[in-house]
Amino acid sequence: MGSQGGFYQSKEFLDLVKSIGEARSKAEEDRIVLSEIETLKRRISEPDTPKRKMKEYIIRLVYVEMLGHDASFGYIHAVKMTHDDTLLVKRTGYLAVTLFLNEDHDLIILIVNTIQKDLKSDNYLVVCVALNAVCKLINEETIPAVLPQIVELLAHPKEAVRKKAIMALHRFYQKSPSSVSHLVSNFRKRLCDNDPGVMGATLCPLFDLITNDVNSYKDLVISFVSILKQVAERRLPKAYDYHQMPAPFIQIKLLKILALLGSGDKQASENMYTVVGDIFRKCDSSSNIGNAILYECICCVSSIYPNPKLLESAADAISRFLKSDSHNLKYMGIDALGRLIKISPEIAEQHQLAVIDCLEDPDDTLKRKTFELLYKMTKSTNVEVIVDRMIDYMISINDNHYKTEIASRCVELAEQFAPSNQWFIQTMNKVFEHAGDLVNIKVAHNLMRLIAEGFGEDDNTADSQLRSSAVESYLYILGEPKLPSVFLQVICWVLGEYGTADGKYSASYITGKLCDVAEAYSNDETVKAYAVTALMKIYAFEIAAGRMVDMLPECHSLMEEFLASHSTDLQQRAYELQAVIGLDAHAVESIMPSDASCEDIEVDKALSFLNGYIQESIEKGAQPYIPESERSGMLNISNFRNQDHHEASSHGLRFEAYELPKQTVQARIPPASLASTELVPVPEPVYPRESYQTTTVPSVSSDAASTELKLRLDGVQKKWGRQTHFPSTSTSNSTSQKTVNGITQVDGSNTANSRTRETYDSRKQVEISPEKQKLAASLFGGPSKTEKKSATGHKSSKPSSHMVKSHAPKSSMEVASEKTSPVQQPPDLLDFGEPTVKSTAPSLDPFKDLEGLLEPTTQVSSAVNHSSTAAVTKSPDIMGLYTETPAGAHHKDSDILSGLSNSPMTNMVGGTTTMQVAQTSKSPNLKDSLEKDALVRQMGVTPSSQNPNLFKDLLG
Amino acid sequence: MIHFVLLISRQGKVRLTKWYSTYSKKERSKVLRELSGVILTRGPRLCNFVEWRGLKVVYKRYASLYFCMCIDPDGNELEILEIIHHYVEVLDRYFGSVCELDLIYNFHKAYYILDEILISGELQESSKRTVVRSVAAQDSLVEAAKEETGSTISNIIAHAAK
């Protein structure tokens, strides 16, 4: 095709690009871009700008925006440009709008009309350009405007148009499935399109459709299988071959679809076995694309109804991946292993050492993937090792996103498989200590619940042991200088509930600690609130036990502070504490029964305990309550007012009516009395309120009561709004999730136990360090049973062959690199080296692949080049050598930027050096690059001078 | 699905960005900043994949240019690597042994080519020949349009006169 890369742009633009390239700092770059924006703003709004100029301005806008600056002033001009008649201008306009606008932009409505017009064009290129824009810009609201036209285009004579039309419909399906649900038959039809490109494109929407509804497409299994078979048998045109593989991207898509269709469907799966097996056999595992297909095959096999033969092939492929030197393949192998162990858990142990290697690999990506695998294979026998490792890793990283994820995984595994309560609490402590506020608050609630409930067994001593150990560990941890808020909440709650339960610690000791917490974290109101409530509990337990309460001085001062706090929540808690302390033992015990956090609370929705009171009132002449539903009139008025009005109107005189609100209030909603009782602790109304508070019924669930409650509190909401919030969130969890957890726990451990017994192994690895062995043993099962004797021989032979294999290519590469580039780093600049190195015989030239890729013309020259400058080409970063030697100007980093930013003086020299460099290094395309270089300099731009990287072939 | 495609030079200069999922301007620059920080600092011989905010970024270095694509966590990374390579090969055919300079000055061409390979985050065409042909078809028409700017109008007039 030759070089199409002429520079159509004006010198101005080239200068801009160059000066940005030379910018030494981000600030400098910003300055240049800002002045460019000013220029463009001025020019673009000038009247009568020629189209060609305008087109260039728009491209410059795209450039500016690409650098992260705002070019929104020019959007409208780009939109206008799409209206243009000439394809040249129109294409630029469409490109700009698709890059500028997100689908929710206001300007899109202005483009829809143009798109409609262009879709009707008789020039198929215009239609294609418009379809590109459709895929990016048409949003849910504008789909109907273009849908009929696009459906029509499905029958367009040009395959390029059909293909894009399919993709557009696919996009519509993603945006709003209902908009194209009636068009499914069209997709099916296009599957039989004559053009393989259109067929391949059709697989995209079909994949989505099948993902959402497998059963409607079971009839297509046969078609997909036969297409895949034909593809694998190279029936498609040669143009679809990629690195000697027949249409690999289509194969991969088909395998994905088959995986969906065959999942859990024996009959459908049986149709696929042959073809998948064929592909396993045919796949060339020495090329990257071959491995991509192999990986997809493994995914397919692990998704469809299991077939022993295919599983075996999959396991083979996985072990090849894992034994490879390429990190990429190891990564894929770990991932594939994670998929396959769901079906055949026993294959994991063959690879235990590979897995451990990956776990200890310096590559974070690989490590994380391995943790994911471990997470999948955790059971009660190895949970301790795995979670410990996860926590260690969690501590070592800074990436908050991943920290959160791995913390929640630790928690999940610990909850599911914890071998002992002690361990569980310690693990949770670690997680909280290190991941702290990243942990979901629910986890904290779960932990509190767990401590409160114990492990669901009836053994009370175990539970109290659990609690004592929790208390003990928390008292110890409180010594740490800084703890996350969530964790402190848990600590306060547990200390309040169980701090004095076992009598080991005195109330004054615990309260002292709680006061310390409240003081140390004085800007965290939630923690302070937890601390105050915990104090209240401790004192209440003391009083109930008949002991004298003797408030610490620091507690007194704390209370004084809180009584005057700006936080109404804290204030209220403090007042409550004050009130509770003043009560007698009997009252306190019913308010704050000890260890009652998981007692079920009976909610008397009918509030029958008030019947007597009501009776009395009615006898005194009060009006009986009329349920809302039975009332008439006054429809659209809120409940609260409704009532008042009702009563007011029925009673002529106000004086008596005064009593009525009181009656209804107390009759129906005890919490409402809260407001009044707060300041004056009258024992009678306190009962219902306090029992609500401590035991915390999530009374929100009883709808009648809750609406009342909200309404009633309206008047005082500003003051008391938060009060109900805290206690109910913290403990409502505990009641609701109790049973669920109990069940899963038992289940989980049972199944895990039975499974692990099967996978015990005690094989000895000769060449492996005992540490790793130990780790392997603890991960993959304890060394208790010897089940697989045959495996021993099998295993020990495997690693050795692996060693031999891997050594040969490595050494050859090493030699090559030593010979050529002692200056620069190893030959993996171009990733080409990787796939070839890892897998095949040492004799294979890593660049062999390359030759196939290049154009016939370049192929010749490159072949020549290979022989002549074999050493040079071997090390792809040879450029580094050249930058340093010929120019003499010793640039540390041989990159474009530093090259571009040369001083004018070296620039002159640079001109010649570039030539040299281009000549020697880039010999396969020597002429091209020379031309380019000449052209650039002709334009007056010397972008590269010393820096040859700019001219360096991307493909090597 | 591919969420976005980025071309970043070794110095962190952005050479091309294409967003298939919706990202606000702020998010875009954040993504660029974060990812170039992660990818450019990765050593050689490591995986070509990075897990990032629950998604996966597959990247590959060609000379001094990094090609990055961000995909869903369940995607096939090796396939994406090959899609990147497919793109580079097409670029190579189109420009005739492509180098970074081609992409710097002709970034819009790189966009046109990308538009023929990927559409709304999916691979639309896996035949190099087809892609190159369709881009060439557009180009040739553009060339033609350049030469005969006046004649299209006369064509229309002739058409209308019939």
Model confidence at A585: pLDDT above 90: no
Q: Does B128 sit within 8 Å of A164, measured CB to CB? A: no
What backbone phi and psi angles, to 5 degrees, belong to A245? -100, 140
A292 and A345 inside one domain: no
- B interface test, pick of A101, A245, A954 with most B CB neighbours within 10 Å: A954
Q: If you average pLDDT over residues A791-818, what whole number do you get?
A: 41
| Angstrom distance (rounded) from CA A245 to CA A248 | 6
| Angstrom distance (rounded) from CA A496 to CA A535 | 6
A271 and A357 inside one domain: no
Residue A7 lies in a domain: no
| Angstrom distance (rounded) from CA A459 to CA A13 | 80
Give the confidence band of A23 by pLDDT, cuts at 50, 70, 90: confident
Nearest CA in chain A to B110: A5
| Angstrom distance (rounded) from CA A303 to CA A262 | 7
Which residues 907-926 of A are in CB contact (within 8 Å) with B?
A: 922, 924-925
A224 and A278 inside one domain: yes
Model confidence at A547: pLDDT above 60: yes
Question: Are the CB atoms for A828 and A834 separated by under 8 Å?
Answer: yes
Model confidence at A553: pLDDT above 70: yes
Better pLDDT: A742 or A429: A429
- Highest mean pLDDT: which range of A382-396, A802-816, A828-842: A382-396
Amino acid at A276: V
Nearest to A780 by CA among A390, A419, A361, A356: A356
Q: If you average pLDDT over residues A311-326, what whole number do you get?
A: 89
Which among B83, B130, B141 is the nearest to A125, CB-wise?
B141
A449 and A580 inside one domain: yes
Residue A477 lies in a domain: yes
| Angstrom distance (rounded) from CA A933 to CA A950 | 10
Better pLDDT: A550 or B11: B11
Residue A202 lies in a domain: yes
| Angstrom distance (rounded) from CA A57 to CA B108 | 12
Q: Does B142 sit within 8 Å of A854, measured CB to CB? A: no
Residue A344 lies in a domain: yes
Q: What is the pLDDT of residue B4?
A: 94
A334 and A299 inside one domain: no
> For residue A625, with 0-12 CB atoms within 10 Å meaning exposed, 13-18 middle and 19 or more buried, which class applies?
middle
| Angstrom distance (rounded) from CA A56 to CA B123 | 29
A337 and A470 inside one domain: no
Q: Does A299 sit within 8 Å of B76, measured CB to CB? A: yes
Q: Does B88 sit within 8 Å of A197, measured CB to CB? A: no
What backbone phi and psi angles, to 5 degrees, belong to A823? -75, -50
DSSP states along A492-546:
HHHHHHHTTTTSSS-HHHHHHHHHHHHHHTTT-HHHHHHHHHHHHHHHHHHHHTT
Give the confidence band of A56 by pLDDT, cuts at 50, 70, 90: confident
Q: Does A164 sit within 8 Å of B119, measured CB to CB? A: yes
Q: Of A92-96, A596-600, A766-770, A940-944, which gets the smallest average pLDDT?
A: A940-944
A331 and A238 inside one domain: no
Pair of tokens at residue A641: 């007012």
Residue A850 lies in a domain: no
Q: What is the pLDDT of residue A941?
A: 53
Q: How far is A797 from chain B (nearest CA, A)?
A: 27
A269 and A339 inside one domain: no
Q: Does B10 sit within 8 Å of A363, measured CB to CB? A: no
Q: What is the pLDDT of residue A792?
A: 37
A528 and A445 inside one domain: yes
Q: If you average pLDDT over residues A291-297, what whole number do you get?
A: 92
Give the length of chain A: 956
> For residue A58, with 0-12 CB atoms within 10 Å meaning exposed, 13-18 middle and 19 or more buried, which class applies?
buried
DSSP states along A119-176:
HT-SSHHHHHHHHHHHHHH--TTTHHHHHHHHHHHTT-SSHHHHHHHHHHHHHHHHH-
Average pLDDT of every residue of chain B? 85
Q: Does B16 sit within 8 Å of A66, measured CB to CB? A: yes
Model confidence at A722: pLDDT above 90: no
Q: Of A572, A596, A620, which residue constitutes the final position of a domain?
A: A596
Domain count for chain A, please give it: 3
Q: If you average pLDDT over residues A938-956, what whole number do you get?
A: 60
Q: Of A347, A368, A389, which residue constitutes the final position of a domain?
A: A368
A444 and A591 inside one domain: yes
Residue A123 lies in a domain: no
Q: How far is A247 from chain B (nearest CA, A)?
A: 7
Element (H, E) at B66: strand B65-71
Cβ-based neighbours of B52, under 8 Å, separated by 6 or more: B34, B35, B38, B70
What backbone phi and psi angles, to 5 degrees, belong to A369? -60, -40
| Angstrom distance (rounded) from CA B18 to CA A904 | 35
Q: Whose structure tokens read 């995914």?
A: A299
| Angstrom distance (rounded) from CA A116 to CA A133 | 11
Q: If you average pLDDT over residues A563-584, what whole number do you get?
A: 85
Which residues 182-241 of A are in CB contact (within 8 Å) with B?
A: 196-197, 200-201, 204, 237, 239-240
Q: Identify the three-state secondary structure at position A242.
A: strand
Residue A378 lies in a domain: no
Alpha-carbon torsion A31, B110, A120, A100, what sign?
negative
Angstrom distances, CA of residue A415 to CA of A450, A470, A731, A744, A948: 9, 15, 18, 10, 58
Cβ-based neighbours of A953, under 8 Å, separated by 6 or more: A922, A924, A925, A929, B63, B92, B97, B98, B99
Burial call A274-309: b when 16+ CB within 10 Å, e when fewer: ebbbebbeebebebbbbbbbbbbbbbbbbbbbbbee
> Radius of gyration over alpha carbons of chain A, in Å?
37
Residue A358 lies in a domain: yes
A446 and A591 inside one domain: yes
Q: How far is B161 from chain A (nearest CA, A)?
A: 18
Question: Are the CB atoms for A161 and A128 separated by under 8 Å?
Answer: yes
Contacting residues of A for B82, CB less than 8 Å apart? 242-243, 248-249, 288-289, 292
Q: What ipTM is given for this predicted complex?
A: 0.88
Q: How far is A21 from chain B (nearest CA, A)?
A: 8
Structural domain boundaries, residue A567:
440-596
Q: What is the pLDDT of residue A456?
A: 58
Q: Of A567, A596, A625, which residue constitutes the final position of a domain?
A: A596
Q: At what angle do helices B128-147 and A87-100 cross, to 10 degrees?
A: 120
A238 and A354 inside one domain: no
